[in-house]
Chains A and B, each alone.
Chain A
Amino acid sequence: MVEAVGIHKHFGDHHVLRGIDLTVQKGEVVVIVGPSGSGKSTFLRSLNHLDPPDQGWIRIDGDLLGFRQGNQGMIAVSDVVLSRQRQHIGMVFQQFNLFSHMTALQNVMSGPLQVLRSDKATAEAEALRQLALVGLEGKAASYPEQLSGGQQQRVAIARALAMHPKVMLFDEPTSSLDPEMVAEVLQVMLALARQGMTMIIVTHEIQFANKAADRILFVDEGLIVEQGTPADLIANPHNERTQKFLSLVMGRGET
């Protein structure tokens, strides 16, 4: 479903991604963990070309993302083509990024209405359905600033789902939430995972990863250091850096 090969990214002199390869099967839930500054968010953002890779390529469901094969090698596609490709990739941000001048309903409708060109009634029905799925049908008329962080993030998930994406990317979806709101968002994500959505999630929530993930990747200094099933990686990390990181986030101290 998602295939990333040899992804490199530089920000100025800083070599953030140093050649990441990742293949995610349909329905698979992959959780990426790693220390801050390790490049995990940048990698996730490269998967929908919000931060286009400097080197390497990405296929979503077989389609080359952002480029096409020309006679002389790869050619960047137009904004319109890239935007069409992005429709299939849902993304949820750490800061929610709900459109602040729109109600929750309008936020969720915006994709179907403006991108898929659905008619208003269809878009509204779909948006209400998605809001109900995240438990917020009662908040349709609320503006983002009237919602709690957890509610905003659930609306953001509904907004992404309204496009019926093939894969969902989550960039630290609970990192800016107050602790009591983390659970409601993770619950929605867990339900989504159980329904067979293909998901790639950057998070520090190891307990959630343990429950939801099919595979956990440990990323450090722009490379995948180690990967495996939650049972393997959490219970029995081989790499020293993975061990150190896990002991830190799980608050167990040195083992």
Chain B
Amino acid sequence: MWDWGAFFHYLHSAYLLKGAGISLALSVGAMIIGLFCGTGAALMRRSRYRLLREPASFYVWLFRGTPVLVQLIIIYTGLPQLGIKLGVISSALIGLGVNEGAYLAEIIRAGISAVPRGQFEAARAIGMTRTTTMRVVVMPQALRIIIPPLGNAFNGLMKTSSLASVISMEELLRRTELLIQVQFKVLEIFIVAALYYLLLTTLWGFVQQRLEAHFSRSVRASDLSRRRTPQILTIDSALTHDAT
């Protein structure tokens, strides 16, 4: 039997609400780590030096090729065997963040590749160093291409963060399970948890819309140049391919 009373009771449970907050914080933290790893790996994979390119490719290959759940368990449960002892929170942050970085690396790399070659050359010809060229000319243009898939990645991450419950991180799903062990209202409590996840992703959807609207003026600009420079099209399709 479905118990409406229990459902409404847990709908404003401070315990679960705090779990949702922890899930959000975990996602934000992992995303920040992911952005650092992803940007670094993307830049390294574009390097002229094999010594930088290959470790970055290895990283992306390794973390995209294995389940994040397995990675989390290895970091939390397996690494202590080598003397590397990480707490629950650090393990969850590092595991989710480093994994996310491998996916973001591909998104960021595709964004950088979509900036026409002439933009690099013009910057170099003015006398900008490689670093300045990336910072002033390439990255701002890559960003407007990267923003939408980046938003989708964060949406995915908020849901993936529930896997941290397996290593006993007390986020939303773990708290849901703990609550059920004493309250037995399985369906009601799980539905509340699902609604909380829905709330998080929906709120993020609004933020993402704002972000994309903010960048849309310049995106419209790149739509125009897209008609002129065919190379953007091919790299765009690389982006969509990556997302599938």
Q: How far is the CA of A91 from the CA of B125 in the complex (A)?
A: 6
Q: How far is the CA of A84 from the CA of B132 in the complex (A)?
A: 12
User: Which residues of chain A from 141 to 188 have any CB-CB distance to chain B below 8 Å in the complex?
Assistant: 143-145, 156, 159-160, 163
Q: Are B224 and A79 in contact (CB under 8 A)?
A: no
Choose from A50, A84, A95, A143 the contact partner of B124 (Cβ within 8 Å): A50
Q: Are B127 and A111 in contact (CB under 8 A)?
A: yes
Q: Are B126 and A160 in contact (CB under 8 A)?
A: yes
Q: Are B141 and A100 in contact (CB under 8 A)?
A: yes
- B152 CB-CB contact with A under 8 Å: no
Q: How far is the CA of A80 from the CA of B122 in the complex (A)?
A: 16
Q: How far is the CA of A206 from the CA of B80 in the complex (A)?
A: 75
Which B residues are in CB contact (< 8 Å) with A111? 126-128
- A98 CB-CB contact with B under 8 Å: yes
Choose from B122, B125, B141 the contact partner of A89 (Cβ within 8 Å): B125
Majority-rule SS of B interface residues: helix
Q: A101-B140, A101-B218, A145-B224 are in contact. Are A115 and B121 (CB under 8 A)?
A: no
- B65 CB-CB contact with A under 8 Å: no
Q: Are A97 and B128 in contact (CB under 8 A)?
A: no
8 A-B pairs closest in CB distance:
A87-B127, A97-B122, A97-B118, A91-B125, A145-B224, A111-B126, A115-B127, A86-B127
Q: How far is the CA of A97 from the CA of B121 in the complex (A)?
A: 8
* Closest-CB distance, A78 to chain B (whole angstroms): 9
List residues of chain B with CB under 8 Å of any chain A CB: 116, 118-119, 121-130, 132, 136-137, 140-141, 144, 218, 221-222, 224-225, 229
Q: Are A100 and B126 in contact (CB under 8 A)?
A: no
Q: Are A80 and B129 in contact (CB under 8 A)?
A: yes
* Closest-CB distance, A137 to chain B (whole angstroms): 21
Q: How far is the CA of A79 from the CA of B121 in the complex (A)?
A: 14
Q: A93-B118, A114-B132 are in contact. Are A101 and B221 (CB under 8 A)?
A: yes
* Closest-CB distance, B89 to chain A (whole angstroms): 38
Which A residues are in CB contact (< 8 Å) with B116? 97
* Apart from A111-B126, A114-B128, A115-B128, 15 more pairs, CB < 8 Å: A83-B128, A83-B132, A85-B127, A86-B125, A89-B125, A93-B118, A93-B121, A97-B118, A99-B123, A100-B119, A111-B127, A114-B126, A114-B136, A115-B132, A160-B126
Which A residues are in CB contact (< 8 Å) with B121? 50, 93, 97
Choose from A48, A84, A85, A100 the contact partner of B225 (Cβ within 8 Å): A100
* Closest-CB distance, A150 to chain B (whole angstroms): 15
- A203 CB-CB contact with B under 8 Å: no
Q: Are B126 and A115 in contact (CB under 8 A)?
A: yes
Q: How far is the CA of A132 from the CA of B54 in the complex (A)?
A: 49
The chain A residue with its CB closest to the CB of B130 is A79
- A46 CB-CB contact with B under 8 Å: no
* Closest-CB distance, A171 to chain B (whole angstroms): 10
Choose from B125, B130, B141 the contact partner of A48 (Cβ within 8 Å): B125
Q: Are B225 and A163 in contact (CB under 8 A)?
A: no
- A110 CB-CB contact with B under 8 Å: yes
